[in-house]
Chains A and B, each alone.
Chain A
Amino acid sequence: MTDSPAGRIGQHVLEVQHLKKSYLSPEGERTDILDIPGFTVGYEEQVAMRGPSGSGKTTLLNIIAGILQPDSGTVSIAGTNTTNLPEAARDRHRARHLGYVFQTFNLLHGYSALENVLLGMMFGQGSDAQVAQSLLERVGLGNRLKHRPSQLSVGQQQRVAVARALANRPQLVLADEPTGNLDRRHGHDALMLIRDVCRDQGAALLLVSHDPEVLGAFERVEDLSVLNHAADVAPAPSVTASR
């Protein structure tokens, strides 16, 4: 594959094909949660995906991240079919090519903001305090490097999570309801920050949300209930905003 921007035109940083995932319920019944024939995200593209709670958004992101394995189908990230990789290789690939922003930020509470970002780097490109510090400065936390998550506001915690997700210069950032725990103003700020930083770093963004205001900010919005042909998922909400 070609990594130069010119060489990437028309290529996809993420390709999902014939993806299926089901769960075995405690009663022993198999429940189909995902059945996606195809889905792609281009290099540096920013895509929003909507879907109600329980529609399998997080499961899809976890499969893309290599945290979960699909029952069948393939996920290719930056030209590598990660579903064929052994677990350790998937972990390594995830660390080097993916950033993940969680709804609850999932910061490590015993560590400072700087250490959280450094830990994000240590499994990928390797820790670099200068890069970590500049990322935190980029998200407006240059004066909060030594602060623990508990010493930061919710909005500041989200910014640390964004800096951590971008720390390894990933080609794809996954964001799972990143504004879900923020009020409207902070949610808007966080969204703008994620998008700006991804743009600055040349990373594609796949953001899932059920917030119409968030979805309305994206040029491309995919509806998981349309993409997903699985029969057992929750129905799509009646009103959604998209462009």
Chain B
Amino acid sequence: MSKSPGIGLIVRRSLRHHALSTTITAVSVALATGLVMSVFAIDRQTRDAFTGGPVGFDAVLGARGSQLQLVLNTVFQLETSPGNIPWSVYTAISHNPSVSLAIPFAVGDNYHGFRIVGTTTQMFTDFEYTKGHKLTPEAGGRIFNDTAKEGVIGAMVARQTGLRVGDTFHPYHGVIYDTAQMHKEQFTVVGVLKQTNSPSDRVVWIPIDADFRIAGHVLRGSGTIYRPQPGVEIPDANKEVSAVMLKFRTAKTGFMLDQQINKQGKDLTLAWPIARVMADLFNKIGWVSRVLQLVAYLVVVVAAGSILASIYNTMNERRREFAILRALGARRWTVSSAIVLEAAAITLMGIVGGFVVYGAILAVVTEVIRVETGVVLNAFQISPPMIIAPIGMLLIGALAGLAPAFKAYGTDVASNLSPTS
């Protein structure tokens, strides 16, 4: 005996017969599934990326103010600097035996919107953005000379500005690109860094001494204004930095410095641990996420309603079909289960489309986040929302088929097998 066509044939024929409504409903399910997966996956991945991504530092030391502002400004190149701190703070903390790495950051200029950070060569020789990985120039490049007007640019800077090794550029004052704010100093690109998928990809690194000497920059490290002169060494007392990036030998150091600087001190702020500071941000803006989730759930409800409506609307025209099937010996549950299966099949098609929608949304969002922050989300990483959302949608879709299935269950055979004689 050959294989029975079974309920599958009834389902397939109905889907084909109602191809337009099937397609529209499947598209709405695809949008709902894709949206739900995207909202949850983006929330999860951005949280993971910003709180546990390749930051490489344990803490940021800066002027008294907001820890979040300090982290956003120095780690993610967002926001503005809360103010500067004297060079002496940097030298003091760098000599603390519990601190394994202290790197000064001077920020305040940009090149075509990309932050210019004045720092030391330690950024390339000692700093690891993830364990075992340093900021390394591509072949043909090198790190800058501490005393030269040279720059090393991140991979995204190179990609988006077209700057290559040997090219020159002028810094622009401020963190927002304004052609009227161009500094006259000219720097030469000596290295393009390998891609790190971290915020460092969006940075133009220059020697901190060269940063101090850019015309228009004044130093107030001693409390009075000091204007660097060409060929004259800048006294340490006059220097100032935006922040000092820190790496501790043990977590205990963080507790200790947190106590000294944040709780007992009044001039400085230690943003520590960076992951906690960012987690606080996500907790504060968690309501946005919850609103998005609510919208996604509502879209799911609408999709479930469209499944119900699309099948329910065919019930009248299909009463005769059900009656015929029943007259042929189909049991009530057979007919009604065909309806539930039909709803599930539409949902399944939608779920397949949902992965396409998810891929498209994630591709766009990932690119936007990458361009804006340098943080790269792993769009195609399998995450729980990618499993739970489709399964949940399938169940909801099948449930949406219950009402029309119930109607099919109650189809009166005799009255729908007209005419009578």
* Residue A130 at the chain B interface, CB threshold 8 Å: yes
B203 to chain A, nearest CB (A): 63
Q: Which of A124-143 contact B (CB under 8 A)?
A: 124, 126-130
CB B411 to nearest CB in A, in angstroms, measures 11
A168 to B328: give the CA distance in the assembly, Å.
10
- Give the nearest-CB partner of A106 in chain B: B324
Min Cβ gap B371→A in Å is: 51
Bound CA span A181–B92, Å:
104
Minimum Cβ distance to chain B for residue A89 (Å)? 9
B164 lies within 8 A of chain A by Cβ: no
Q: How many residues of A contact B (CB 8 A)?
A: 44
Answer whether A122 and B421 are a contact pair too, CB < 8 Å, given A67-B414, A110-B13.
no
Instruction: Indicate if the CB atoms of A124 and B13 lie closer than 8 Å.
Output: no
CB atoms of A106 and B327 under 8 A apart? yes
CB distance from B44 to the nearest CB of A (A): 44
Say if the beta carbon of B140 comes within 8 Å of chain A.
no
B4 and A126 form a contact (CB under 8 A): yes
Say which residue of A100, A108, A208 sits within 8 Å of B321 (CB atoms). Answer: A108
Hey, what's the 0/1 contact readout for A31-60 against B, CB within 8 Å counting as 1?
000000000000000000001010001110
Question: Of residues 93 to 119 in A, which have CB atoms within 8 Å of B's CB atoms?
Answer: 94-96, 100, 102-104, 106-108, 110-111, 115, 118-119
Q: Are B421 and A87 in contact (CB under 8 A)?
A: no
Is the Cβ of B320 less than 8 Å from the Cβ of A122? Answer: no
Name the segment of B26-34, B220-228, B240-248, B329-337 touching the other chain: B329-337
B326: Cβ under 8 A from any A Cβ: yes
Q: A177 within 8 Å of B by Cβ?
A: yes
Residues of B within 8 A of A118 (CB): 4-5, 9
User: Which residue in B2, B3, B16, B326 is a CB contact (below 8 Å) of A91?
Assistant: B326
| Residues B329 and A94 in contact, CB atoms below 8 Å apart | yes
* Contact between chains at A120 and B4 (CB < 8 Å): no
> Chain A's nearest CB lies how many Å from the CB of B12?
10
Q: Is the CB of B2 within 8 A of A119?
A: no
Please indicate the chain A residues that have their CB under 8 angstroms from the CB of B419 in the complex. 103-104
Residue contact B9 to A119, C-beta cutoff 8 Å: yes
In contact, B4 and A127 (Cβ under 8 angstroms): yes
| B323 smallest CB distance to A (angstroms) | 8
Q: B417 on the interface (CB 8 Å rule)?
A: yes
The distance from the CB of A88 to the nearest CB of chain B, in whole angstroms, is 5
Contact of A130 among B2, B10, B331, B418 (CB under 8 A): B2
Query: Would you call A92 an interface residue if the criterion is a C-beta within 8 Å of the partner chain's C-beta atoms?
Result: yes
Cα(A118)–Cα(B1), bound, Å: 12
Q: How far is the CA of A102 from the CA of B1 in the complex (A)?
A: 28
Which B1-50 residues sit within 8 Å CB-CB of chain A? 1-6, 9-10, 13-14, 16-17
Task: State the Cβ distance, B320 to closest chain A Cβ, in Å.
Answer: 7
**Within residues 375 to 395 of chain B, which ones have a CB less than 8 A from any CB in chain A?**
none
- Greatest chain A CB density within 10 A among B321, B323, B419 is at B419
* B-side contacts of A177, CB under 8 Å: 421
Measured in the bound complex, the distance between the Cα atoms of B414 and A210 in whole Å is: 20
Binding site secondary structure of chain B: helix
Query: B413 contacts the other chain (Cβ, under 8 Å)?
Result: yes
Known contacts A67-B326, A91-B331, A123-B330, A102 near B417 by CB under 8 Å: yes
- Complex CA distance for A210 and B321, rounded to whole angstroms: 27
Nearest-CB residue, chain B, relative to A132: B2
B421 partner, pick from A103, A119, A130, beta carbons under 8 A = A103
* B2, A128: Cβ atoms closer than 8 Å: yes
**Interchain CA distance A4-B1 in the complex, whole Å:** 24
Cβ of A15 under 8 Å from chain B: no
Q: Is the CB of B326 within 8 A of A119?
A: no
- Bound complex: CA of A214 vs CA of B250, how far in Å? 102
User: Is B147 positioned at the interface, with any CB of A under 8 Å from its CB?
Assistant: no
B264 at the interface (CB under 8 A from A): no
Residues of B within 8 A of A107 (CB): 324
At the interface, yes or no: B292 with Cβ under 8 Å from chain A?
no
A68 interface residue per 8 A CB criterion: yes
The reply on A206 being an interface residue by CB < 8 A is no
Which residues of A lie under 8 Å from residue B334 when comparing CB positions? Answer: 123
**A176 in the interface, Cβ–Cβ < 8 Å?**
yes
Closest to A112 in B: B13
Q: Does A187 contact B (CB under 8 A)?
A: no
| B325 contacts chain A at the CB level, 8 A cutoff | yes
A21 CB to closest chain B CB (Å) equals 11
Contact yes or no, B421 A111, CB < 8 A: no
B315 to chain A, nearest CB (A): 15
A115 CB to closest chain B CB (Å) equals 7
Residues in B neighbouring A166, C-beta threshold 8 A: none
B5 is contacted by which of A57, A95, A115, A180 (Cβ under 8 Å)? A115
- With known contacts A103-B419, A104-B419, A111-B13, A128–B331 Cβ distance under 8 A: no
> Are A127 and B2 interface neighbours, CB within 8 A?
yes
Question: Are A92 and B414 in touch, CB under 8 angstroms?
Answer: no
Q: Does any Cβ of B come within 8 Å of A62's Cβ? A: yes
A53-B421, A104-B418, A106-B417 in contact; A122/B4 too (CB < 8 A)? yes
State whether the Cβ of A205 lies closer than 8 Å to any Cβ in chain B.
no
Return 8 A-B CB contacts under 8 Å, by A number.
Answer: A57-B421, A92-B329, A103-B419, A108-B325, A110-B13, A122-B6, A123-B329, A208-B421
The 6 tightest CB contacts between A and B, nearest first, are A95-B329, A123-B329, A58-B420, A127-B4, A110-B13, A129-B2
